[in-house]
A and B are shown apart, each in its own frame.
Chain A
Amino acid sequence: MGTLDPGFTEMLSGDFYTRRLASEAGESTLVLNMGPQHPSTHGVLRVIIELDGEYILRAEPVLGYLHRMHEKMAEDRTYIQYLPNMGRVDYLHAMAWNWAYVGAVERLAGIEVPERAEYIRVIVTELNRISSHLVWWGAYLLDLGAFTPILYAFEDREIILDLLQIPTGSRLTYSYFRPGGVAYDINEEFLAGLKTFIPYMRGRLPMYRDLVTDNIILKGRLEKVGVIPLEMCRRYGATGPVVRGSGKRYDVRIAEPYSVYGRFSFDIPTHSDGDCMGRYLVRMAEIEQSLAILEQAAESIPPGPHLVKGAPKVRWKPPAGEAYFAVEGARGKIGVHLVSDGTNTPYRCKLRAPGFSNMSLFAELSRGVLLADAVAILGSLDLVIPEMDR
């Protein structure tokens, strides 16, 4: 038994972030790294936790494991070449990111979008929103110890992926929007598939409710857990189902109207409790509302071009200036701030990721909760790590 190598003891004390947190930790507490590889962090999120028994005293998220510097990439390619990046920021709701970026470019250059293209955008974005919520639902219940729901969720999501594959050619990282419209028109096969999907999905929701939502164990795990006061949402800039789960009827589709959303009648589901159950119920209700939008859009979609004449090509230059465009993504408010110097490359492209702001309240929220509840809270925030890290 020789003495330990000093390098080895240093390694045991953890990395920069662990040591930093541990230096302020109490004597009888445990500093625990949850992640970056942990089943409930869905990707590579890391949270350093100081535990007293099973209770969390402090938690510090460590980000950046999926950081790809999308904002720098924007300055390195033309406006059109940057489009595929948008499908890779948030792989679950890629359409909304497509829209936020393309919307900023259109606002910057004053590009008109044909009516049919607006309808197509609404349809694919809402379909994608449902598929995103389905993945969240299945994965969240997996976190909570229920294995079966994800099998149902993925069965239904598969139909959406098949549908979206028809106009886009891809199943996950869509790069479908173009400044001035969308890349390809939707066809009869897609519309027919959509029209059978809407009643099918409606029929599945009661089964979801019976199987999971009314389940007594689920209620025990989620009710009164992770209560986020509305004021906390505001201080952190939390949006989407998080702020709606805390009782505020705030949705970018209504608050900052864009496209043709004003023509459809749909509700903005809210819940006043602000707990994990509130956020859960808001997302489940949003699936129904997206179906309502899809139904109206599929019935009233007008004929016409899917892309404006003279739409920007690869070396296109917008005028100098700045534009901010926001859309409602599955996780909240997605914003793109573009600054142009009149060349064919963005001078600056800032991406506002809703998950970033939603996650930033976790450190405060998790103080004093059980470790098992922290898993329920993380899942209820619907985190997509590549979107937070960008």
Chain B
Amino acid sequence: MGSSVNASWLHGLDVVASAAMSREKTGLVRAVFLEPEALPEAAARLDEAGYFLEDLSVVDTSEGFLVVYHFDHFETPGRVALRVLVPHERPVVPSISGVFSGADWHERECRDFFGITFTGHPNLIPLLLPEDSDIHPLVKEESARKRLAELIPPGDVEKSSAAFEALFAPLAPPEAEAEAKEGGEGAPGSRPECAPREAKADPGGEKPSPESAS
């Protein structure tokens, strides 16, 4: 586990969940789930800590678009992923191009491929697709989408919240049990197959209550 990597930039940050990852298995050392509003703050802290933006990837899941920012460090290498889940109906994420200049093009590319709007972007026009293009080629059909929990391993979760528990509830029983006392509200709602979507919409939007588990 790459949890020994310095993560002081995380202290006091409002996160949905934070997990140490196995570098050998995933290539990441840390994955942090955030509410979209918390993204600029997290990016500013990574900037201060000397990270650089590697790329911006989006995974289209049944719960929404998972926007993934990969960061790495020149002196102390170790990939950090910031993850933001936005609903298909309103795919809006704050731009971080004011913090990392390189995000400018990455965000324009994601707008092309997925139709995601980055608020505060100075020049959100098509980059790789034609200027009059109205298709977003990487958006999946509803029937082809898979649940986030089937795609992304949650990792070694250190900090979690009800919204996060609801997302991963059926796939990670040990963690769900450990956090059952705190996440009591989120767990029962996550039983049926379609529930996580609603569960996400409500605790995700209103109460991003991060509770420390470690």
Chain A residues with a Cβ under 8 A of chain B = 15-17, 20, 63-64, 67, 69, 71-72, 75, 104, 107, 110, 232-238, 243, 248, 250, 255-256, 320-326, 333, 335, 337, 339-342, 347-348, 350, 352, 356-357, 360-361, 364, 389-390
Contacts of A15 in B (CB 8 A): 131
Interface centre among A17, A234, A326 (most CB of B within 10 A): A234
Contacts of B134 in A (CB 8 A): none
Contacts of B126 in A (CB 8 A): 64
Give me the 8 closest cross-chain CB pairs, A-B, nearest first.
A324-B27, A350-B57, A236-B102, A352-B55, A16-B131, A255-B77, A237-B102, A64-B128
Establish whether residues A235 and B52, one from each chain, have CB atoms under 8 Å apart when the complex forms: yes
User: Mind listing 21 A-B residue pairs with CB under 8 Å?
Assistant: A17-B131, A20-B125, A64-B129, A104-B27, A110-B25, A234-B50, A234-B52, A234-B74, A235-B101, A236-B102, A237-B53, A255-B77, A321-B153, A322-B26, A341-B146, A341-B151, A348-B57, A348-B58, A350-B55, A350-B57, A361-B102
Q: Give complex CA distance A232, B50 in Å.
A: 12
Interface residues of B in 67-92 (CB under 8 A from A): 68, 70, 72, 74, 77, 79
Establish whether residues A341 and B150, one from each chain, have CB atoms under 8 Å apart when the complex forms: yes
Contacts of A347 in B (CB 8 A): 59, 146, 151
In the complex, whether B137 has a CB less than 8 A from a CB of chain A is: yes
- With A72-B138, A348-B57, A350-B57 in contact, is A339–B152 under 8 Å at CB? yes
Contacts of A235 in B (CB 8 A): 52, 100-102
Establish whether residues A67 and B128, one from each chain, have CB atoms under 8 Å apart when the complex forms: yes
Chain B residues with a Cβ under 8 A of chain A = 24-28, 50, 52-55, 57-60, 68, 70, 72, 74, 77, 79, 100-102, 104-105, 113, 125-132, 137-138, 146, 150-153
Contacts of B50 in A (CB 8 A): 234
User: Once A and B bind, how many residue pairs between them come within 8 Å at the CB atom?
Assistant: 123
Q: Give complex CA distance A350, B132 in Å.
A: 24
Contacts of A69 in B (CB 8 A): 137
- Interface of chain A, main secondary structure: mixed
Establish whether residues B28 and A324, one from each chain, have CB atoms under 8 Å apart when the complex forms: yes
Establish whether residues B77 and A256, one from each chain, have CB atoms under 8 Å apart when the complex forms: yes
Q: Give complex CA distance A320, B55 in Å.
A: 22
Contacts of B151 in A (CB 8 A): 320-322, 339-341, 347
Please, which residue of chain A has its CB at the minimum distance from the CB of B133?
A64
Establish whether residues A337 and B68, one from each chain, have CB atoms under 8 Å apart when the complex forms: yes
Cβ distance A353 to chain B, nearest Cβ, rounded Å:
9
Cβ distance B198 to chain A, nearest Cβ, rounded Å:
23
Please, which residue of chain A has its CB at the minimum distance from the CB of B130?
A64
Contacts of B54 in A (CB 8 A): 237, 326, 333, 335, 352
Q: Give complex CA distance A17, B129 in Å.
A: 13
Establish whether residues B101 and A360, one from each chain, have CB atoms under 8 Å apart when the complex forms: yes
Cβ distance B39 to chain A, nearest Cβ, rounded Å:
17
Please, which residue of chain A has its CB at the minimum distance from the CB of B112?
A64
Contacts of B55 in A (CB 8 A): 237, 335, 337, 350, 352, 357
Contacts of B26 in A (CB 8 A): 107, 321-324
Contacts of B152 in A (CB 8 A): 321-322, 339
Cβ distance B37 to chain A, nearest Cβ, rounded Å:
23
